[in-house]
Chain A
Amino acid sequence: MHAEGPILSARGVTCSYDGTPVLDAVDLDISRGDFIGVVGPSGSGKSTLLRAVSGALEPVRGTVERGPGVSFGFVPQLEKVDWDFPVTVTECVLMARTRPLRRFWSTRQERRAERDKLLDVLDRLGIAELADRHIRALSGGQQQRMFLARALMTDADVLLLDEPTSGLDVKTRHEVLHLLDELRQSGMAVLITTHDLNGIAAHLPHVVCLNGRVIGEGRPTDVLTPANLEATFGSPMQVLQHAGMPVIVDAPTDSIEIAS
């Protein structure tokens, strides 16, 4: 469907903070219509990878080639946001639109076009009636949609989401995943990090197991194997099959005795 090849190519990307290596020789291709989940334990370099592909962090070795004009929208972890900050939903959604419109000397048509686009995006994400509310008044799923709207307003080509479903209930998690799938089908590329193997990773078309380096990459059924998972998480796991999908459970080790 999207045959034009990758819009982003990372080759041998190596990153470190204060001399401590975090990513080691990571290769990654991203094309339009991709929906990629990066799984790994905390400290495995997932967030660093997002920063490196977007250009916010320069790799110490390796290259990231981005297609001309490729732009990034980033959705932060909800837990890391200051929800007491005085902004309304509209203010939040518009703040990332720093380039297409310079409020000071924009024309009336430009302002009207932006207003229409804003209403359109809010409507599409089902948060139009919340436009003038303070951000704290939203539920977790609505907060997630607000940040997606912010990314859509900038016409981002690549959507980066850091643990987009952590802290959300099962129903909301499904809604967010379906929404991301719709965006992917409209031609965006979606890259998310997650440590939720069964709830998220197993449902995605493409998974990357990361622990400093890439342990495995491909379809969940091919990649989420006991060997890959142990190399990624450092703990033995079993993979069962259920309705054609992998289900990951902790491997039985010596049983833990809990005194009653």
Chain B
Amino acid sequence: MIDELLRPYEFEFFRNGLIVATVAGALCGLIGCYVVLRSMSYIGHGLSHSIFGGFAAASLLGVNVFLGAGVWGLATALMIGGITRRRPVGSDAAIGVVTTASFALGLALVQIFGTTDRNAEAALFGNVLGVSIGDVWLILVVTAITVLTIVVSYRRLLFVTFNPEVAEISGVRVTLTDAVLMLLLAAAILVTMNVMGVTLIAAALVVPAVIARLLTSRFSTMLIIATVIGALTGAIGMNLSYHLDVASGPTIVLTGAALFVLAFGFSGVAGRARLRGIEHAH
């Protein structure tokens, strides 16, 4: 039994995948707190889908897929902002149009030209077979930059998330802070795409934050709990993925969902009251 559980650890691809999944879960859990509290869940969902379009186009053109998908993701984010500002289309409608079109374009490109490798499917549903040591380093660097940014601008980010208008009047550069957060979100989606799959990243962003909100009303504690829960779901989900022979994205998300049910049960009435706050904010 124990032997069977430890067997995957013999393989390098699994060890790499486990590191990436754990760090990816932690990273998404951390960024996800801001995403959930700013009611940006739909942006996270849309951005991850649109990035798939850039991913497909880049792999077709033989460009570095991270670069291609990253540029594409930023362009979509700007487009969403532009459409929303011109109105009368609401931001959710703008996100819906731009990102699903981009996602559809990616799917069409893959169907017409086929895929050069298994990357497209990995990007859609998450697959760690292709995780290289380079990918491990990439996600570690992005996570380090994210943690550093959040530690250094902790109060500024909190202020802008809680009271954007007040922060602006108090002299905080809100537009810049928002842009930094969007950038961190895009980078997180980019480097976790291979493990989670673009179709499921939104869950990795939202679920740990919601669990953390169930358990605490203190912001700093929420960040820590969400990061730990994210790491846990990544690690457990990765092991399940091997043993059940299912793509890593679904097993990670299902692990998160199971932890949510547990937390929901244990946190009792107080936790559910806290959660109503999140629903209310949407």
Contacts and interface: CB of A to CB of B under 8 A. Distances in A.
B220 A91 contact: yes
B120 to A, nearest CB: 39
A54 interface: yes
A19 B165 CA distance: 21
Contact of B169 (A50, A83, A92, A94): A50
19 contacts: A51-B168, A72-B169, A72-B171, A74-B169, A76-B166, A82-B281, A84-B274, A85-B162, A86-B219, A87-B158, A87-B217, A91-B220, A94-B155, A95-B159, A95-B162, A98-B153, A103-B154, A134-B218, A154-B170
Given A74-B169, A92-B162, A95-B159, A86 B217 contact: yes
A104 B151 contact: yes
Interface string A85-101: 11110011011111000
B169 A160 contact: yes
Contacts of B162: 82, 85, 87, 92, 95
Given A51-B168, A56-B165, A94-B155, 16 more contacts: A54-B169, A56-B168, A72-B169, A72-B170, A73-B170, A85-B37, A85-B277, A86-B274, A87-B162, A91-B219, A98-B153, A98-B156, A98-B159, A154-B170, A156-B170, A160-B169
Contacts of B166: 74-76, 96
A160 B154 CA distance: 24
Nearest to A80: B165
Contact of B165 (A71, A76, A83, A103): A76
Contacts of A174: none
A243 B200 CA distance: 69
Nearest to B216: A86
B276 interface: yes
B163 interface: yes
B222 interface: yes
B280 interface: yes
Interface of B: 37, 151-156, 158-159, 162-163, 165-172, 213, 216-220, 222, 274, 276-278, 280-281
Interface in A190-236: none
Contacts of B168: 51, 56
Contacts of A98: 153, 155-156, 159, 172
Contacts of A156: 170
A95 B159 CA distance: 6
Given A91-B218, A98-B172, A84 B276 contact: yes
A104 B152 contact: yes
B34 to A, nearest CB: 12
Do most interface residues of chain B lie in helix, strand or loop, or is the interface mixed?
helix
A91 B170 contact: no
B218 A86 contact: yes
A81 B163 contact: yes
Question: Which of A54, A75, A94, A95 has the most CB atoms of chain B within a 10 A radius of its CB?
Answer: A95
A103 B155 contact: yes
A160 B280 CA distance: 28
B206 to A, nearest CB: 15
A18 B71 CA distance: 31
Nearest to B222: A86
Given A82-B281, A84-B278, A88-B218, A95 B169 contact: no
Contacts of B171: 54-55, 71-72
Interface residues of A, number: 34
B37 A86 contact: yes
Contact of A96 (B165, B170, B276): B170
Interface string A46-59: 00001100111000
A83 B281 CA distance: 10
B219 A87 contact: yes
Nearest to A74: B169
B216 A97 contact: no
A102 B165 contact: no
A134 to B, nearest CB: 4
Contacts of B217: 86-88, 134
A98 B172 CA distance: 8
Given A72-B170, A84-B281, A160-B169, A91 B152 contact: no
A95 B216 contact: no
A97 B155 contact: yes
Interface in A27-86: 50-51, 54-56, 71-76, 80-86
Contacts of B277: 82-86
Contacts of A86: 37, 213, 216-219, 222, 274, 277
A81 to B, nearest CB: 7
B86 to A, nearest CB: 11
Nearest to B148: A104
Contacts of A87: 158, 162, 217-219
Nearest to B87: A18
